[in-house]
Structure 1
């Protein structure tokens, strides 16, 4: 176990405080929509099945899982 200096620790009140994040209105990015059918998809779905530039040309609403696994979401 490492030794910690009391000066290195943050006060308990600072550690437990939540700071709300401001939003600018719309929380769903157009990059997180299927370019084929317009359905919302998660960031992780785009990362796995989309193209390297963040675009997605197919989702589970308009393609089969087999087609997505074979790269169908990366091609227009």
Structure 2
């Protein structure tokens, strides 16, 4: 999940970073790349991107559970 602020959640991984890229996937979704020391990619809807006002440089919290992580080499 991406958030502009912190909140209570069962997810223990909450890392702050800045958006470094936004990649259009199709008319309905984008990949938001957040730099938290390493680049993290999150697939969200274009509607969510616009509603949250996310752009390059936006400060976001990346929130996730460990089981949601996929590592590519």
Specify the structure having the higher radius of gyration (Cα): 1
TM-score by length of 1: 0.28
* Structure 1 or 2: more helix by fraction: 1
TM-score by length of 2: 0.29
Pick 1 or 2: higher relative contact order, CA cutoff 8 A, min separation 6.
Answer: 2
